[in-house]
């Protein structure tokens, strides 16, 4: 058994990729070495970087992580936690960054433990202070169960866990400028670097060096404070910055020094920077704090601007925002698609938030934020349901923290905004479903339904529909049945034909997955008619596809094929890639049963390509199973078992549950594929299949699909499999090497097994590749499997 978890990519492809800072780290050599040393110690599992906001904890953690990452077999995962308000979402956030989706039936914290138990990972929990107490028990439990896991946390407060190693991060060292000579220091370099960002011709020279050093000294070497001051060089000469800073300090400093170095300087720097803002900038700055987890320009414009609320006009937001970015109060993050997203540093946010409260604007703008979230969610819902435009799922994922904030705000009993919460949750359920936020979505929907007194309304029916669907996908069919039945009844009573049709189709799924095909058929048939009447052809195709699935479940292959082909044609007309792929993938299964293996292979091959394009990995895994059924029917038992095993291991990560009709087909095929395999062969095929990475499994799946065109040379395990020696002119040694490659062995493992040197094995491998005329190891393995060599 492999000790490496199949769920976490091996070294190189690191999960939760590290944010790449734009500028090199300045100074901190000693600290980096010290923290690396702590992480290296066998007796330490949790290291917390402590210090006030803006002192450079996150920057230091990033650098340490970058350097330590190669020492961890499964890499490092960087988890920014500042936007996470609810401690229960910490495991979810970590899991998402590790590429592990919620499994419908197992709580995410348990899954995470399972996965990390066998993994050698550095988990970096950044900005943990606001969650410190609440997550401590979870973290302690995680560390207890995952012996090779190490955690690096950054926090303003200690986590108070036994075994926690605290590391105090001090501000950058500064020299008293009165002391004479001015050697360059990281603090001064930081000032110069950030000053150049706003004024490219800024140079450190004899005239200004003393003042720069004095500014850094005044600010106690606190990096964020230095950045804020340096951002002003485009309007103020450095001596003036120093003067104004001194004024500010004398104004605000009571004589006592803060026990935590840097804390006070941070407050000064922000206050100072804030006071230099124009009234419009100040206004926008404080209002932006209603966002959680960042925002887009569009969002800032629609939430923060408006004639009735002060001077910030919509058109002016772009300039004001640009100016806040120049002054380092807001960060701009460029997205791969060229768009920008904006964030506010935590310590800055805390100050700006106080300003918002002081101006009495908190409620007004939180309400506008919630309205914006609602508009976004409803627009996305419409696009998802009517146009199957799944790009909206990513938009909602990017705004998830904002949506959570709006839900939390509107559910506060003091506000009586339960109507907003109900609409918001009701329009988000599809997103929660498709992106596997099952437990969380269910929690919000339950809270929204309980808080609302709008029973019998359309919004209520929609929320119940979502709740029913999420409950079903988590296996709670009792709750699902109640919610869906009620939802259908309300929509019917309201006379809303489209909503009734939609509810009926979700209700039909419940019956279909439970194997109650007669009942399912009547729900889908009625839904199909209603969608047709309301002119929603996209959903006519969806329900027709389901009628095909149900017919398959009833054993009526001809009817099943008929419905699926007709759904396929309609879905192609409607440009709905999901239903096209779903229908194709069912056509594949049906054609296998009808012994039309070539048609099956064609349909499955197109389905595979389409799911690949829409990045539906859990569906790709399901196609693997169908291809495995095909391989089995074609007599390629070993290939079938390997693909089933790969699907099971990779599918684990997505927690996809299979509907009943196809599940029965899979179980049957796997059972039968086992029979012709000799003792131990099944187990070895299963184990090696489980180790396949997604890309390798894809190559094998393609190889199986192509097998129709090349009649297999030898049946695996059959009497002629030993005749394979002369295949492609491979020598006996090369064949042995190829078989071991197919078992997922590395060159080193093959060398050990065959008593050869690793160099000799490498030589054999390359000659195998050239004789088979393939470019990669994966392709060679696929060839071997296709030809029954492995």
Ligand X SMILES: Nc1ncnc2c1ncn2[C@@H]1O[C@H](COP(=O)(O)OP(=O)(O)O)[C@@H](O)[C@H]1O
Binding site for ligand X (CB under 6 A): 21, 23, 25-28, 51, 53-59, 154, 186, 190, 223-224, 227, 347
Nearer to ligand X, 226 or 499 (CB): 226
Nearer to ligand X, 58 or 92 (CB): 58
Q: Do 71 and 190 form a contact (C-beta atoms < 8 A)? A: no
Residue entry with tokens 């966002």: 291
The one of ligand X, Mg ion, none whose footprint includes residue 185, by CB under 5 to 8 A per kind, is: none
Nearest to 185 by CA among 29, 50, 7, 362: 29
Token pair of 614, please? 């829409």
Q: What are phi and psi of 411, to 5 degrees?
A: -90, -5
The one of ligand X, Mg ion, none whose footprint includes residue 224, by CB under 5 to 8 A per kind, is: ligand X
- CA–CA separation, 317 and 330 (whole Å): 13
> What is the nearest approach in angstroms of Mg ion to the Cβ of residue 145?
28
> What is the nearest approach in angstroms of Mg ion to the Cβ of residue 48?
12
Nearer to ligand X, 227 or 381 (CB): 227
The one of ligand X, Mg ion, none whose footprint includes residue 543, by CB under 5 to 8 A per kind, is: none
Residues facing 106 on adjacent strands: 103
Which residues, numbered 431-470, are part of the site for Mg ion (CB under 5 A)?
A: none
> What is the nearest approach in angstroms of ligand X to the Cβ of residue 21?
6
- CA–CA separation, 411 and 300 (whole Å): 23
The answer to whether 58 contacts Mg ion (rule: CB under 5 A) is yes
Nearer to ligand X, 80 or 655 (CB): 80
The answer to whether 65 contacts Mg ion (rule: CB under 5 A) is no
E strand or H helix that includes residue 785 = helix 777-786
> What is the nearest approach in angstroms of ligand X to the Cβ of residue 415?
32
Ramachandran category for residue 716: left, alpha or beta (phi over 0 → left; psi -120 to 50 → alpha): beta
Q: Using CB positions, name the residue nearest to ligand X.
A: 56
Nearer to ligand X, 227 or 536 (CB): 227
Which residues, numbered 237-276, are part of the site for Mg ion (CB under 5 A)?
A: none
Residues facing 79 on adjacent strands: 125
DSSP state of 289: G
Interaction pattern, residues 115-134, with Mg ion; x per rule: CB under 5 A: ------------x-------
From 58-66, 185-193, 318-326, 391-399, give the range in contact with Mg ion by CB under 5 A: 58-66
Nearer to ligand X, 98 or 230 (CB): 230
Which residues, numbered 748-787, are part of the site for Mg ion (CB under 5 A)?
A: none
Nearer to ligand X, 15 or 51 (CB): 51
| Nearby residues of 577 by Cβ (< 8 Å), 6 or more positions away | 388, 610, 613, 614
Nearer to Mg ion, 25 or 647 (CB): 25
Q: Using CB positions, name the residue nearest to Mg ion.
A: 58
DSSP state of 556: -
> What is the nearest approach in angstroms of ligand X to the Cβ of residue 202?
17
The one of Mg ion, ligand X, none whose footprint includes residue 779, by CB under 5 to 8 A per kind, is: none
> What is the side-by-side order of every strand in the sheet holding 46-50?
76-80, 122-126, 150-155, 46-50, 164-168
> What is the nearest approach in angstroms of ligand X to the Cβ of residue 276?
19
> What is the nearest approach in angstroms of Mg ion to the Cβ of residue 262?
13
| Nearby residues of 637 by Cβ (< 8 Å), 6 or more positions away | 631, 673, 674, 675, 676, 677, 716, 717
Nearer to Mg ion, 56 or 177 (CB): 56
Nearer to ligand X, 127 or 312 (CB): 127
- CA–CA separation, 282 and 235 (whole Å): 17
The one of Mg ion, ligand X, none whose footprint includes residue 464, by CB under 5 to 8 A per kind, is: none
The one of Mg ion, ligand X, none whose footprint includes residue 553, by CB under 5 to 8 A per kind, is: none
Three-class secondary structure assignment of 717-765: CCHHHHHHHHHHHCCHHHHHHHHHHHCCCCHHHHHHHHCCCHHHHHHHH
Nearest to 189 by CA among 20, 19, 21, 28: 28
The answer to whether 343 contacts Mg ion (rule: CB under 5 A) is no
The one of ligand X, Mg ion, none whose footprint includes residue 227, by CB under 5 to 8 A per kind, is: ligand X
Nearer to ligand X, 23 or 766 (CB): 23
- CA–CA separation, 654 and 658 (whole Å): 12
Nearer to Mg ion, 59 or 546 (CB): 59
Give the Å distances, CA to CA, from 623 to 515, 577, 652, 784: 21, 15, 15, 21
CB burial string 22-46: b at 16+ within 10 A, e below: eeebbbbeebbeebbebbeeeeebb
Number of residues that bind Mg ion (CB under 5 A): 2
> What is the nearest approach in angstroms of ligand X to the Cβ of residue 38?
18
From 57-65, 89-97, 310-318, 648-656, give the range in contact with Mg ion by CB under 5 A: 57-65
- CA–CA separation, 362 and 384 (whole Å): 32
Q: What is the DSSP string of 657-678?
A: PPPHHHHHHHHHHHHHHHTTSP
> What is the nearest approach in angstroms of ligand X to the Cβ of residue 36?
15
- CA–CA separation, 433 and 467 (whole Å): 10
> What is the nearest approach in angstroms of ligand X to the Cβ of residue 22?
8
- CA–CA separation, 509 and 516 (whole Å): 10
- CA–CA separation, 514 and 449 (whole Å): 26
Nearest to 60 by CA among 83, 38, 45, 85: 38
The one of Mg ion, ligand X, none whose footprint includes residue 671, by CB under 5 to 8 A per kind, is: none
From 51-59, 267-275, 362-370, 487-495, give the range in contact with Mg ion by CB under 5 A: 51-59
> What is the nearest approach in angstroms of ligand X to the Cβ of residue 354?
17
Token pair of 588, please? 């594949």
> What is the nearest approach in angstroms of ligand X to the Cβ of residue 186?
6
Nearer to Mg ion, 35 or 640 (CB): 35
> What is the nearest approach in angstroms of Mg ion to the Cβ of residue 443?
28
Which residues, numbered 369-388, are part of the site for Mg ion (CB under 5 A)?
A: none
Token pair of 692, please? 């396949």
> What is the nearest approach in angstroms of ligand X to the Cβ of residue 157?
12
- CA–CA separation, 417 and 425 (whole Å): 13
Task: For the chain, give the longest Cα–Cα distance.
Answer: 93
Nearer to ligand X, 68 or 424 (CB): 68
Give me the residues that bind Mg ion (CB under 5 A), please.
58, 127
């Amino acid at each position: 058994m492999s000790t490496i978890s199949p769920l976490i990519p091996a070294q190189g492809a690191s999960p939760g990729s590290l944010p790449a800072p734009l500028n090199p780290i300045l100074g901190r050599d000693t600290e980096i070495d010290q923290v690396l040393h702590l992480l290296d110690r066998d007796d330490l599992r949790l290291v917390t970087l402590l210090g006030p906001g803006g002192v450079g904890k996150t920057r230091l953690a990033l650098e340490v992580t970058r350097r330590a990452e190669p020492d961890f077999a499964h890499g490092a995962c960087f988890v920014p936690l500042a936007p996470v308000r609810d401690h229960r979402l910490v495991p979810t956030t970590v899991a998402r960054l590790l590429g592990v989706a919620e499994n419908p039936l197992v709580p995410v914290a348990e899954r995470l433990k399972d996965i990390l138990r066998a993994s050698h990972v550095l988990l970096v929990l950044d900005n943990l202070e606001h969650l410190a107490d609440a997550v401590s028990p979870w973290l302690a439990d995680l560390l207890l169960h995952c012996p090779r896991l190490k955690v690096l946390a950054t926090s303003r407060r200690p986590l108070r866990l036994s075994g926690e190693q605290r590391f105090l991060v001090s501000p950058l060292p500064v020299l008293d400028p009165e002391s004479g000579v001015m050697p360059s220091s990281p603090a001064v370099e930081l000032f110069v670097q950030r000053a150049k960002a706003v004024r490219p011709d800024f140079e450190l020279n004899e005239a200004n060096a003393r003042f720069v050093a004095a500014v850094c000294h005044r600010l106690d070497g606190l990096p964020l404070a230095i950045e804020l001051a340096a951002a002003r060089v485009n309007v103020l000469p450095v001596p003036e910055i120093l003067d104004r800073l001194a004024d500010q300090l004398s104004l605000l400093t009571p004589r006592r020094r803060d026990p935590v170095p840097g804390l006070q300087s941070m407050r000064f720097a922000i206050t100072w920077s804030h006071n230099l803002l124009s009234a419009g900038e100040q206004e926008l700055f404080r209002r932006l704090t209603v966002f959680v987890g960042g925002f887009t320009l569009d969002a800032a414009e629609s939430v923060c601007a408006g004639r009735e609320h002060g001077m910030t006009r919509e058109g002016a937001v772009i300039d004001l925002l640009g100016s806040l970015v120049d002054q380092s109060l807001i960060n701009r993050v460029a997205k791969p698609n060229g768009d920008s997203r904006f964030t506010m540093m935590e310590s800055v946010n805390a100050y700006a938030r106080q300003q918002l409260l002081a101006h009495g604007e908190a409620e007004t703008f939180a309400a506008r934020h919630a309205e914006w979230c609602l508009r976004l969610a409803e627009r996305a819902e419409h696009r998802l349901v009517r146009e199957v435009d799944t790009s909206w799922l990513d938009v909602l994922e990017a705004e998830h923290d904002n949506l959570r904030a709006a839900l939390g705000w509107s559910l506060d009993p003091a506000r009586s905004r339960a109507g907003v919460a109900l609409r918001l949750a009701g329009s988000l359920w599809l997103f929660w479903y498709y992106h596997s936020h099952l437990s969380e979505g269910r929690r919000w929907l339950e809270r929204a339904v309980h808080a609302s007194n709008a029973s019998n309304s359309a919004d209520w029916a929609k929320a119940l529909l979502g709740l029913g669907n999420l409950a079903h996908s988590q296996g709670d069919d009792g709750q699902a049945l109640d919610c869906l039945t009620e939802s259908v009844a309300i929509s019917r009573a309201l006379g809303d034909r489209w909503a009734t049709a939609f509810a009926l189709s979700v209700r039909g799924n419940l019956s279909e997955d439970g194997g109650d095909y007669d009942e399912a058929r009547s729900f889908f048939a009625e839904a199909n008619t209603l969608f047709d009447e309301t002119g929603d052809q996209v959903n006519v195709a969806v329900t027709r596809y389901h009628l095909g699935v149900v017919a398959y479940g009833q054993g009526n292959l001809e009817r099943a094929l008929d419905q699926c082909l007709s759904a396929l044609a309609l879905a192609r007309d409607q440009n709905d890639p999901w239903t096209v792929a779903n229908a194709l993938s069912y056509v594949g299964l049906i054609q296998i049963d009808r012994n039309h293996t070539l048609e099956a292979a064609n349909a499955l091959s197109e389905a595979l390509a389409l799911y690949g394009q829409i990045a539906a990995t859990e569906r790709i895994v399901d196609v693997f199973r169908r291809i495995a059924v095909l391989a089995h029917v074609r007599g390629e038992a070993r290939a079938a078992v390997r693909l089933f095993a790969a699907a099971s291991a990779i599918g684990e990560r997505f927690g996809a549950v299979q509907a009943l009709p196809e599940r029965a087909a899979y179980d049957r095929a796997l059972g039968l594929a086992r029979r012709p395999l000799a003792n131990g062969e099944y187990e070895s095929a299963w184990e090696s299949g489980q180790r396949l990475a997604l890309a390798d499994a894809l190559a094998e799946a393609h190889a199986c699909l192509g097998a129709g065109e090349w009649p297999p040379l030898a049946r695996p395990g059959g009497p002629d499999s030993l005749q394979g020696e002369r295949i492609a002119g491979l020598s006996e040694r090369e064949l042995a090497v190829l078989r071991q490659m197919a078992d997922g062995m590395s060159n080193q493992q093959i060398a050990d097994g065959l008593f050869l040197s690793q160099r000799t094995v490498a030589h054999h491998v390359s000659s195998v590749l050239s004789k088979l005329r393939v470019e990669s190891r994966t392709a060679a393995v696929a060839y071997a499997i296709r030809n029954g060599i492995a």
